[in-house]
A and B are shown apart, each in its own frame.
Chain A
């Protein structure tokens, strides 16, 4: 019996004791990681607790120097006012994530906006360098799944990592005891050093860099070592999708905040390094759009090198300017309120544009000396088609492809309306099939005519022309578009030859030819092809014997990639207004008007004074509208260019032909445009009539600008009328898709005649949803002139 009890007890102990050993080892291995905040973490926590904040700025060191927190919070429409920065030197996405998670969100803070100021390359980083690893590991007792997987390349659960991390400690301690004890006994002159130091120092001295191999670090047992063995320190990923951006977006959005990534400017010498290849940037941008991350790209912000302390970190004045722009951009993309942000679209980069073929040799014609010093006349023969009258038929008459060269000096062409004065001024002008030249001072040289083959030919800051001459072609080559299912590439083209009766150009998209039709002297065509998989090109070829021509319009779009090839680099509000569909709700009521004859003209009393240089009025004679009212009464009074002129409170127009007595009615010009001769900006102005809800929908073409839609000012000019000081505010709204991105109540109370009320609409860049502008003018107001005017930053 006793033996049985002993055997049973022994059997039980044989099971229990090992289990206790295993359980004890397991408990020791799995015990929660002790953690006490480091000094830097305590500092961060203290900063966060000091005052309320709605904005958190994270990033490396320049996120601290470049962003003025007070300026930022004051210029963002967020409550509570307040912003904090969490930044470490060379901090990367892993550290930002850790700080946001452990210092901000897990601590119960609820900012509305997280701003990451960084470089685009950093978005691909997943591991900090060894020097800065502690900035990451200081944030937590043990990392969460995201950090464990992305930074430490571990897919194991936390408890297993803990066990694997700790398991080598007893062994290492035992090995060190056996290693260090004899070392201390043998070492002479130890200077009081402990055994471990003696053995370590001796090991380093004897084995050098290899010493670590004998330090009993567990490969895979310690995160740092595993990482080093895997070569992951300071490393990144090729695909941002495998980096921290998705995790950051999830973390921030899960707590109801918006995430905006900002690329800051640097000194000029560092700028090239701030960019990734276009395709890589486009991919990151596309990922951010998909994740609902806002982008603010200020890498091209104009700052002198002196604005930086070291090329990277801004001085306070530059930081203020940067912060103001940053606040503006953040507001523009809608990041100060919940909901989807304005999504930029990365444009497809042009790989090359080239002119293929040399073009014709110009027959100079006859050069004759003029009747004075430095005078000469060139009678154009072979290039007659490029004579001034022909060019006058084109809107861009100033962008002639002909250059006049004297020796090695390019002579300047006179501007429209500029008289060619005498003297050695180095200029020329066209006149009736000839070119009058005023030679330049200095050594004279032979006068030569040549074709300006710049692509495009620019005259001034804005005007440009893509000239195509016979036996040459222009070819634009693009890279492969990003992946997009079911998207076709559509190319629209318009070629305007100088002579209408000319052979048609040949337009090809890759190998496919665009069918062109001749409309009003222009060759137009459109072609849709399957989305190209690789690089693709558009080629416009002018056959031999064809006229000189201009590629007037060339646009393409595939998926969300859009480009207006021959448009200016920057799409401005002015162009937007021109291409807009304008719908007004106010009716254009016309009332019979009493005409007062005066000389060759008559006038009708205008219901409103014209102080703006434009007129909202239209006059019909027997139901047929006269020309649009012009603000310049000089035109109205000067035959034969007579027309309708709105001068102050009178509408002037030429008298009817003898023997006729039309009935005149006056009302609002239904087109709502501003008409004036030689008024560059008039086409950008729009009338908003009393009771009008004006909807402006720019055409899709406006999305195609290479540089996207840029910041501009919007002006509203009041028409002087009785009681304008009591005018009700004009409501302005700018929408992208269904989302309102800008609103304003344009109060006219303080507006004097001719003053503007500036409205700063958001920066749109490349936008992916339909753009709509709405203006509502209360019925009791006079017509208001709304000007879309401005330029790039």
Chain B
């Protein structure tokens, strides 16, 4: 089920009450494990089987690594390979069936294979990375192996972060699952507030402007203004949608006494691409950093591989650049098999490298002067817009056509709808801006004030009313469900 389904409004209170009534950690974990299977199986009864299989495979692999450290390389490689093959099979089956298989077998056989329509199970990417992080960290010696199947399987299938992240780390979650949790009203209310804020962002903001954004992107012959206001709209939609979902996940988890990592930190206030990735989908970015970028940077074999074919030289800068390129390409491919995602990955690799090259040349005092952000943040936002355009537009020829449009072209009606799109962007961005103002300037002063409590609860009530008035019976899926 989805967080914005009415089913979840019935599911979670039952889980919440049952969980806290149980009191003991062991029973709470068992209860949560079962509840997570119900949550995941709500979409399709077969999904928990796959989830348990992936989780079980990593659980077993880590135990094997612990028992046979001399084989840990092979065991880890096998676990990673199995996980990646499993993920790729589901994720890229359609692309394989359309592009590769016809070249290998006859069209008739290819058609038969394509007719299988293998769909991507919801959240497969997230819990694959989630589980792989554990296995890799155990293999690296950074984490103690877990033998308790209940605790581990709960870690692997914990429902708040199961289908769209955050991509949690075992170092964060496992200790919490292995500790007693005690009912704390302040955490419960804080979690409820966070979940309401997330729901508000998703339902009242992202879903509100998404139909108009879709119109802009589906138009066959948009003007330059339509393209870029549409991109702006999508940019705002993406952050409200994704961060909204994450906040719901974190909020509900906080209500259960388990703290999940923050996944978004005002990404559009980033001044550089590298900073952007420390603010956007933080859990996934750090996962890529730790399990792709770092190995790419420091692995001898990778270093040799990237050195010999490309430049024949090795330097820290180019090493970083290459690692970044590998990481961003992996990220792009993970998002999808179409050319635009690969282009998107390459784009961020290029601008990341370019920024690193430019920043490296700047005087240190400039880098320390916060006023630079008044320039760098908008410039970076411009690059982000460009990147979002690549991300959202699946057709590269259309993308290129959009890039060559006349900025002053378009009919008066097209300018009008572009202005409408700007207005809707303002609608969605305003609450985000107010949230930033609150966090930066007001919260430190008022959050402990006695009178702030009724203000906070009243705002939550307003969020609840806004969610009720905005949620559609066939609500748009979370954007990142598709990944």
Contact = CB atoms under 8 A, between A and B. Distances in A.
Contact of A189 (B412, B414, B458): B412
Nearest to A187: B416
Interface in A343-380: none
Nearest to A16: B454
A187 B456 CA distance: 40
B310 to A, nearest CB: 47
Given A13-B454, A14-B456, A181-B423, A219 B474 contact: yes
A180 B454 contact: no
Contact of B219 (A11, A25, A207, A229): A207
B356 interface: no
B469 A168 contact: yes
Given A21-B465, A182-B419, A202-B416, A174 B474 contact: no
Given A13-B454, A219-B473, A186 B219 contact: no
A18 B458 contact: yes
A185 B419 CA distance: 8
A226 B472 CA distance: 10
A182 B423 contact: yes
B453 A206 contact: no
Given A186-B419, A202-B417, A213 B458 contact: no
A207 B215 contact: yes
A141 interface: no
The SS class assigned to the A binding surface is: helix
Contacts of A214: 211-212, 215
Interface string B161-199: 000000000000000000000000000000000000000
A221 interface: yes
Contact of A220 (B411, B451, B461, B472): B472
A7 B449 CA distance: 10
B185 to A, nearest CB: 11
B338 interface: no
The SS class assigned to the B binding surface is: helix
B260 interface: no
B422 A207 contact: no
A18 B457 contact: yes
B473 A220 contact: yes
A691 interface: no
A168 B207 CA distance: 13
- For chain A, the bracket of interface size reads 35 or more
B470 interface: yes
Contacts of B457: 14-15, 17-18
B204 interface: yes
Interface in A12-37: 13-19, 21-22, 25
B65 to A, nearest CB: 50
A21 B467 CA distance: 14
Interface in B435-473: 450-451, 453-454, 456-458, 460-462, 464-466, 468-470, 472-473
A18 B208 contact: no
B462 A21 contact: yes
Nearest to A7: B450
B116 interface: no
Contacts of A18: 457-458, 460-461
B420 interface: yes
B427 A174 contact: yes
A22 B465 contact: yes
A10 B416 contact: no
Interface string A639-662: 000000000000000000000000
Interface residues of B, number: 43
B349 interface: no
Contacts of A503: none
B197 to A, nearest CB: 15
A17 B215 contact: no
Given A203-B417, A210-B215, A210-B218, A175 B450 contact: no
Contacts of B470: 167-168, 171
Contact of B415 (A6, A11, A25, A186): A186
B139 interface: no
Contacts of A21: 458, 461-462, 465
A22 B472 contact: no
Contacts of B473: 219-221, 226
Q: Most chain-A Cβ atoms within 10 A of its Cβ — which of B420, B422, B426, B465?
A: B420
B192 to A, nearest CB: 11
Contacts of B465: 21-22, 25
Given A171-B470, A183-B423, A186-B416, A10 B458 contact: no
Contacts of B466: 171
B419 A213 contact: no
A130 to B, nearest CB: 20
A21 B470 CA distance: 16
B477 interface: no
25 contacts: A10-B451, A16-B454, A17-B454, A17-B458, A22-B465, A25-B465, A168-B469, A171-B466, A171-B470, A178-B426, A179-B423, A182-B419, A182-B423, A186-B415, A186-B418, A198-B416, A199-B420, A203-B420, A206-B219, A207-B219, A213-B211, A213-B214, A213-B215, A214-B212, A219-B474
- Sorted nearest first, the 8 A-B pairs with minimum C-beta distance are A220-B473, A18-B461, A202-B416, A13-B454, A186-B419, A178-B427, A21-B461, A182-B423
Interface of B: 204, 208, 211-212, 214-215, 218-219, 226, 411-420, 422-424, 426-427, 450-451, 453-454, 456-458, 460-462, 464-466, 468-470, 472-474
Given A6-B451, A10-B453, 16 more contacts: A10-B454, A22-B461, A25-B465, A171-B466, A181-B423, A188-B412, A206-B411, A206-B416, A210-B215, A211-B215, A213-B211, A213-B215, A214-B215, A216-B208, A219-B474, A221-B472
